[in-house]
Amino acid sequence: MRYEYFMKKAASLGCRIFFKACVMADTPSVDFIMYGLKREISFSMSVLSGTTNYVLGLIEDSLNFRGAVKRAVVEGYAEPNYATDSEGIDLAAKASIPYSLSMKPISINDVIIESKIDEGVEEIIENTRSERLKVRYVAVLLRNEAPRVKLVTLSEEDIMAQVKGVQNCVKIVTLDESKTLLMGPGTGHRVTALTLSSDLLLSVHKVWDGGN
């Protein structure tokens, strides 16, 4: 497991690794799991890719898949090679991080990609319109099970269905059934840069060195 290797190597050298911009960008999910959450997670469902959520929203607004991807690239939310997003690779990588933090160390190869958003997603969205449902591309984490990446259909009233554009959202349920919801910006140059700056400040702040 490369995650486990790097974390142990850093600890042996008296170093820390900061990586919260990798998950939900400016929304502090990694900080919450590492420092704020004092309970064990039993379940989590998340929209962790602002890019794919933005593309799905454009398709909901009647653009076809190709046109939605093209606009996302032009607006700087997607890479010109969109395959890592559309095939679930980016989302799987992001899912492996909170799972490793809160449950046990895993690699991206341990994440099961059940569906991809370039596989008939236009038809799926069209078929759900009359039922007042929304399609979201999510990561599902369950304790003692492999994380999964998949398309889900949700009622319009579900908070996850109300995540718009490049927003991200995570629902967390702990073993004692405490529930937490985090929602906020998930992609974009500015918000990612702000998060990197935050980690840079944390890396030099004396609080994180025990005051020494």
Rounded to an integer, what distance in angstroms lies between the CA atom of residue 35 and that of residue 14? Answer: 19
Q: What is the mean pLDDT of residues 11-28?
A: 86
Q: Tens of pLDDT along 147-186?
A: 999 999 999 999 999 999 999 999 999 999 999 999 988 7
Q: What is the DSSP string of 101-164?
A: HHT----GGGSEE---TTSSHHHHHHHHGGGTEEEEEEEEEETTS--EEEEEEEETTSGGGG--
pLDDT score recorded for residue 207 = 47
CATH superfamily of 22-209: Dihydrodipicolinate Reductase; domain 2 (3.30.360.10)
Residue 98: Cβ within 10 Å count: 25
Among the listed residues 157, 158, 139, 161, the one whose alpha carbon sits nearest the alpha carbon of residue 149: 139
Q: Where are the domains of the chain?
A: 22-209
pLDDT in tens, 26-81: 788 998 998 888 789 999 999 999 999 999 999 999 899 999 999 999 998 888 88
113: closest CA among 85, 86, 148?
148
* The pLDDT value given to residue 1: 56
CB 17 within 8 A of CB 10: yes
Share of the chain above pLDDT 70, in %: 96
